[in-house]
Structure formats: C-alpha cells, structure tokens
Structure 1
Amino acid sequence: MSYDAFSEDNWDMASRLPNLSKLISQGARSNRLRSVYPTLTYVVHTTIATGVYPDKHGIHHNNPLQPFVQEEDQRWFWFREAIRVPTIYDAVRKAGMSTAGLLWPVSGKSSIQYNIPEIRALGSENQALKVLRSGSPVYCIRMELKFGRIRQGITQPYLDNFTAKCAVETIKRNKPNLLMMHLIDLDDAKHLYGTDSDEVKQVIQRMDERLGEIIQAVDDAGIKDDTVIMVLGDHGQFNVRYKLHLNHLLQAKGLIYEEDGVKKWRAYFQCGGGSAYLHVQPGDEEAEQLALAAIEEYMKDKTSGIESVYTREKLDRLHASPLTQVMLEARRGYCFDESLDGRLVVDLEAHGIRYATHGYSPDKSGYRCNMVVSGGRIKKNYPIGEIEMVDIAPTMARILGVGFGQGDGRVLEEIFAD
C-alpha cells in the first residue's frame, strides 16, 4: 500500500491508531525511509516498483517535458513502456503468479493482471475508454459496476474510498500474489491545506479505517497466515509561502521569447515543486551560460528562494536522471512553478492560500518517509532504522520468492524471523 506523502511528521499520530498500531506490533517498521530525487510521485513509485534509482529507470518527473503547456493539460508518464528496466510486477507474472494494481503510477498497458491504472483523460478524450484501453477491461468494468457510485471524479475522500473497496473485493475474489495500490488522500490534503492542518489529521484517521478494511479482507479471504502487508510513504511535504515562477528569469534574458506569435525557448525550467530541471536546446552552450548567469545574479538576493544549484557531480551522487546537467533546489517555504503567468514571486499567504508540496531533496531535515511491513515470517515489533526506497522491490521479491536481478537496493534481511 503506497500511502502517498506519509512522512515522519505523521508517524506519532498514525502509529497510535488501531489498525496501523496492530501492524506495527506484529511487524517491522521505520520512520527513516529515504526517498529519491526529485521526490515526485511518479519518480518514487517507479523506484519502488523497480529497485533502481531514477538515473536507471528513466522516469525523471511526473510529466515529460512540455514547455508552455498548462499543468492541467500536460501528459504524464502513464504507461509502463516509459520504464527502462524490469519491474517487480513483471517478475511476479513471469514466475507464474497473479498481480493486481490499483491506481499504481506508470502502470498503463502493463503486464499487471487485474489493473486499474492511474491515468487521466485530456481534452476530448473519454476517461472511461482511456482506463479500459490502458488497464484490464473486464476487471475495470466489474469494479466500476460494483463501486463506481462511490467515486466522484478524483475528489477525496471518495477516490480513495473507491480504491479501498476495489482492493477488498480483489483480495477476497482473486487473491493476487502481489497487490500494489496507491492511496492519494493524504497527499491531496497536504497540497490543499498544509501539512499541519486539521484536514490532514482527518485523512490520517480515514486512512487507518481503510487499512482496517484491507486487514479484514485478508482475514475473510482465509489468507492471513500467508500474507505480508507493507504500508509505505513515498515522500514528505513542506508548507509553502512563496511560489517562484523561474521561467521569468529566462524570459528576461531573452532565452524564452515569441516568434510569429509562437512561444519558443533556448532554455526552460521544468519545475517539480521543490526542485527544477534546467533544459537547454541541444548544442546551445551560450544559452546554458546565460541561464546560469541569470540564476547566479538572482541568488545574490538572500531571499531569492533558490537554496542550491546542483551540477552533475551532485546529481550523480543523488542518482538523479541524466536528462539535464543542472537542477535547482528550493529553500523550505518556497516552491518552483514553470508557468509564465503572474509575477516572478507570489506570496501565497498574502492571497489567503494554504499550500504544501514536495519535490525537494530527500536529505532535507524532517523529510523521511514511513514504512510498516507485517505478517508472514516478519519479526514482531522490530525497529529497522535507516532504509532506502530502492530496498523495497528486492524485499518484495524475497517475500514472494521470485528472482529479481541486480538492482540498486538490498533485501531487508534483518526483518525476517527465519
């Protein structure tokens, strides 16, 4: 169970609730799970599914680069074909076992047997048809007929309630060897209301109730003794006061311009909340130098909101995508936005807007994720300590008894009782 944005600041409350505390007492846990860079949902979930860092798996952002396209109109990395390496669900299918996926990122048109992929219609596309073409048609129709009335588009808590009901039904009816599900309620609440809001506390309570439904379904299916439940977060979030529209800096230097009524670019920032990629047209070294000079000039103001410029040396240490040579890291309290609307810096608080986001370095203080793994041969009430997101896939493979090649992570052997 991917519990999107479930981070160390939520541990105290969540770990005291009935269902998660039950799993903790019967399993192993850590609130020191380190994510990958940048800490964006599709980047991290691809690492969870592959056991390798972004520099190998090929998903560098939620979205492919699409300059000047509004965020709500952009394509995402929806399809399995974008991942350059094997996935745990492919390995499980290859071993002759069954798999299920519920809103799992980057799983459209994948090998998952019972699959409702996370995907969204754009423009004139039909949402239902797009899901059917990208997932498992018969399974999708069956779940829609049974639980579709619960859902209200992507509005929460209805979307996650729908996902949980589908999971319960799938566990009871299909008993898949591997079920991977993505629950988004907490991430949405943090984005909309801030990390320390009452709305976030309400979601944590709802999530524990959903977890209880899953635990009960495993029991009802008669597979409790053969089941391991893993609950993990993919990233944290930080509250944001100032939104910095980085591409204004490049536009001011003529690196973004208009020609015959069409916007063009020599350099462009693809933003991801707490981080941003600097893209430069191939071979245009002058554009890169001008862009870096613009950043350096802007950073002379200590309130600029840009904390660091990461060159390839630093990005290689973070195992970040080789797509670009330069990324920017935002200070806490700031985030980056690639649109050219409005002013360079927007004070959200002055506009009465509460907001939080992610995408920052996984090494920022207070930004670790949580993981609980319980059942089967897992040690009881066992503290794991520091672990990496790349350790998840090889550990799942070990639990399932499937071979899964040489990834970047390790099997968490210390959690097993035998």
Structure 2
Amino acid sequence: MELTTPQVPHASRARAKAKHLIVISYDAFSEDNWEMARRQPNLAKLIKQGASSNRLKSVYPTLTYVVHTTIATGVYPDKHGIHHNNPLQPFVKEEDQAWFWFQDAIKVPTIYDAVLQQGMTTAGILWPVSGKSSLKYNIPEVRALKGENQALKVLRSGSPLYCIGMELRYGRIRQGISQPHLDDFTTECATDTIKRKKPNLLMMHLIDLDDAKHMYGTDSEEVKQVIRRMDLRLGRIMQAVEDAGISEDTVIMVQGDHGQFNVRYKLHLNNLLQAKGLIYEENGVLNWRAFFQCGGGSAYLHIRPGDEEAEQLALAAVAEYMQGYAPGIESVYTRDKLDRMHASTCTNVMLEARRGYCFDESLKDPLVVDLEAHGIRYATHGYSPEKSGYRCNIVVSGAGIKEGYTFGELEMVDIAPTMGRILGVEFSQGDGRALEEIFTEGVHRVSYAAEGMNTAHQ
C-alpha cells in the first residue's frame, strides 16, 4: 500500500507561530541531567525565554531509532514500524549489523514530508532513519558495513551536493565517529545551514551525551563534561540564528529521547535458548527456532513463523530461570501488556530487565557477566519508559512560545504535532497532540513568500 502525506491546506500557515524551527535531539538527555543542564548559560537563556519540562515520557523500547521515528511521525512503534535500532540479524556481531537507516522502513508519513509538501524547506543532520528521505538538505546517519565505502553511502543516502559542501568546509573537524569531534562537526554543519539555507525545519541529532553514558556511566565526570560541551554547541546554534537575521521568527526545541541506567551485570539470554536446543548448530552453521533480539534493558522473543512449540519451550526456559531466583529478568510482557504500551507487533513476548542488569545477544559469553568485576563502567537504555527516574527533558523557546513557562507530563508522540503547530502545518496521525499550553495567545502570522517556497535543489 502506498502511503501519502496528509493534505494540509496552505491557509493553515496563517496559524504558524514561527517561520523557522530548529529541533535538536540531545540523545540521552534525561531528568537526572536537568539540574546541571538548566544552570548552563545558553540552555538557561532558552528556558527563561521559553517553555520547559523534565517529564517527557518516551516509548517502548527506549532505543534511539524507535524513539526518533516516533518524534518524526507522532505515532507509537506499533504504527510506525521501527521496532529496534536494527532489523533482526541472528548471530551477526553487533558492529556488523545493518540498522534501520532508510526512511522507506517507516510505515507512516513524517513531519518533514508534511512540511516539504507545504513548500517549505527542510534539513536533517544525522537524523535517524532519514536515509533516502525527502529532506532537502540531508546528511543521514548511516554507517558503511564490510565492503561498503562510508563516503559513497552518505552521498547515495543523502543530498550529494550538500554533503560534499559540508565535508569540504568542516570534514577536518570529524575523526570518524569519535566524540566530541562528531557532535562538533554536526554543530558546525547546523550553523552553516542556518545561515546559508535558512531552512524552515532543521532536525539534528547530537550523540555525545549518549556515548559518554554508555562508556563511563550516568553519574561520571565525563557526563558532566558533555553537558558543558553541549551548552557551548547550543550557543553556537543560537548565535547562528542571530547571524542569519531570523531570531524573531525562530523556535528552538531541545529534547532528550531516553534516559540511561548504570549496569553491573549483562545477561546473555540466548544461552537459555541454546541450552534447550532452540538454538543449535547444523552442518557447522548456527540455526534457531527461537531467538532473543536484545536492546539493552529489553529483549524481543522472535519465533520462527508457525513454530508454536518453540515459543512454549522458550517461555518455559525463561520461567525456569526466574523460578530459580536467578536475577536479571524483571518482567515477561505478553501481548496484552505490549498493546497497552503501544509496542511493536513484531513479537508476542518481550522481556524487561531489572535496573542494574541488561540483556545481550552474544552466545560467546557466560550466561551472566559481572562487568564491575572486569573493571568495566557501563550504562544503557531500552528499558520501559514507565520506570521511575527515566523521563526526558524538553525546552521549547522562541517566537510564539510562553516565557518562563513550566509544563508537566507529555508524551513523545506529542512532539510531531507540536512541530507542525509551530510551522502552521496540521500534522496529527491520532496518537499525539499539539502542546497548545506552551503557546502565547493570538496568532503569529508569517509570510512564506520570500523563503521556503523554492524547493529546487541547491
């Protein structure tokens, strides 16, 4: 079935709050970072001049590509079709796995499709699941696999002339995907794009904080250093808006996508299945009847189609492990619970890890590994968004936004309709709502005659 972007009357743009919207996804920016982050000068300025909350609830599982697809579509994973960062690839090493890099995996329209349809310009810098998308200026988040060339993959998946231009100007900053260099590169590309292109919608993804939490833990000095670096990057973006002469007509949105928890133990779930013969070797090749696709704090139980016995045996193996008072597995979610959480329909069963534990697919390690005993600091995500201390932060500041306004609970599905409301594009696919409470009274009428109507490639 061919999906089309909802038709939106051009007259709806009269309700726009701003002509330009910059969306900064601050990966892993969660409530435990709020107190420090809000005291940094640039974010503090945005908070004072705008609306903010540290009660943004994510979606299940709290994996980056799952969440970012919800941000871009305004619907839960059971509708948008991205269930994990990666498609299922049993027995493939994590570093060799393909990801959901390309927009054609998304089953519903995106906000950037709707904005483009209204004749406005769009840009994306390392936005997840945006490869080969409609974004006019697009540096997609893709990675070369064995036998592929990174530069060619980026060019084929994004906007070639734009990518080449950014690489020529700022490629010297980047050192592969290492931080802080990658986010510094992204920031320079964003400031250049704001000043040269003045897109109506810019969506960018900054990953430094997420990387630091994974590598050093959530309460590390390295995390504090990232929060300080992030504020400097935010200042660069704010200055670019000033330099472009569009500050009176711009909204900046800074938001997290998930939290992280510190982990001491890794539980290698597929060992349970292998012990029951559900993962086996045949002619020297590993095969499976049941397989756990792990996502840090959660795991999908995948079953070969029609193999009901395998599902029963897998669940029995999990129950046996849990009855032995073995730690690690907090809950077994069946379809009723998953439906209430709007989780992907790709499986009937998911496992939820206890805090302090995470799940891993590898069959080469013992069932339980004590990371602390090996001198490893580690944190991860993927857990249920219903866990305490796991909400995200959001700041929305600029034209048409209330100043110094603190709002409460909101859902990740509310972001896309709110983005549409800011730009005067009615965009709702039923799961989320525009956050009307953050807007000032009255209508901010903007003209698109001079900017945004030219959709020719530059």
Q: TM-score category by the smaller chain?
A: over 0.9
**What SS does structure 2 have at the residue aligned with 1:180?**
strand
Alignment of 1:266-281 (within 5 A): 266-281=289-304
**What SS does structure 2 have at the residue aligned with 1:104?**
coil
Q: How far apart are 1:339 and its partner, in Å?
A: 1.0
Alignment of 1:344-359 (within 5 A): 344-359=367-382
Structure 1, unpaired ranges of 5+: none
2:324 to 301, 309, 316: 301
2:433 to 410, 414, 417: 410
Quick one: which amino acid aligns to residue 382 of structure 2? G
Deviations 1:279-315 (A, max 9, x none): 0001111100000000000012334200000000000
Looking at structure 2, the residues matched to 287 and 344 of structure 1 have their Cα atoms a distance apart, in angstroms, of: 20
Aligned to 2:21: none
Aligned to 1:178: 201
Deviations 1:348-383 (A, max 9, x none): 000000000000000101000000000001000101
Looking at structure 2, the residues matched to 311 and 237 of structure 1 have their Cα atoms a distance apart, in angstroms, of: 24
CA RMSD of aligned residues (A): 0.5
Q: How far apart are 1:74 and its partner, in Å?
A: 0.2
Deviations 1:69-100 (A, max 9, x none): 00000000000000000000000000000000
Aligned to 1:128: 151
Aligned to 1:60: 83
In 2, are the aligned partners of 1:250 and 1:268 still within 8 Å (CA)?
yes
Looking at structure 2, the residues matched to 130 and 30 of structure 1 have their Cα atoms a distance apart, in angstroms, of: 38
**What SS does structure 2 have at the residue aligned with 1:218?**
helix
Aligned to 2:393: 370
Looking at structure 2, the residues matched to 240 and 402 of structure 1 have their Cα atoms a distance apart, in angstroms, of: 42
* Alignment of 1:146 onto 2:169: yes
The TM-score, its normalising length taken from structure 2, stands at: 0.91
Looking at structure 2, the residues matched to 231 and 96 of structure 1 have their Cα atoms a distance apart, in angstroms, of: 25
Aligned to 2:52: 29
* Alignment of 1:289 onto 2:312: yes
Structure 2, unpaired ranges of 5+: 1-23, 442-458
In 2, are the aligned partners of 1:50 and 1:407 still within 8 Å (CA)?
no
* Alignment of 1:249 onto 2:249: no
Deviations 1:27-80 (A, max 9, x none): 000000000000000000000000000000000000000000000000000000
Looking at structure 2, the residues matched to 115 and 297 of structure 1 have their Cα atoms a distance apart, in angstroms, of: 49
Aligned to 2:17: none
Q: How far apart are 1:405 and its partner, in Å?
A: 4.0
Q: How far apart are 1:342 and its partner, in Å?
A: 1.4
1:112 to 135, 143, 157: 135
Deviations 1:305-346 (A, max 9, x none): 000000000000000000000000000000000111110000
The TM-score, its normalising length taken from structure 1, stands at: 1.00
Quick one: which amino acid aligns to residue 383 of structure 2? Y
Runs of 4+ that moved beyond 4 A: none
Looking at structure 2, the residues matched to 17 and 75 of structure 1 have their Cα atoms a distance apart, in angstroms, of: 37
Looking at structure 2, the residues matched to 200 and 123 of structure 1 have their Cα atoms a distance apart, in angstroms, of: 32
2:106 to 64, 79, 83: 83
* Alignment of 1:72 onto 2:132: no
Deviations 1:185-225 (A, max 9, x none): 00000000000000000000000000000000001100001
2:119 to 81, 90, 96: 96
Aligned to 1:340: 363
Deviations 1:252-295 (A, max 9, x none): 00000000011100000000000000000011111000000000
Quick one: which amino acid aligns to residue 364 of structure 2? D
Task: Using the aligned pairs only, state the percent identity.
Answer: 80
**What SS does structure 2 have at the residue aligned with 1:121?**
coil
Alignment of 1:373-412 (within 5 A): 373-412=396-435
Looking at structure 2, the residues matched to 291 and 384 of structure 1 have their Cα atoms a distance apart, in angstroms, of: 44
Q: How far apart are 1:403 and its partner, in Å?
A: 2.5
Aligned to 2:345: 322
Looking at structure 1, the residues matched to 324 and 411 of structure 2 have their Cα atoms a distance apart, in angstroms, of: 35
Looking at structure 2, the residues matched to 229 and 303 of structure 1 have their Cα atoms a distance apart, in angstroms, of: 47
Instruction: Count how many residue pairs are aligned between Structure 1 and Structure 2.
Output: 418
**What SS does structure 2 have at the residue aligned with 1:359?**
coil
Looking at structure 1, the residues matched to 239 and 284 of structure 2 have their Cα atoms a distance apart, in angstroms, of: 60
2:32 to 1, 4, 9: 9
**What SS does structure 2 have at the residue aligned with 1:215?**
helix
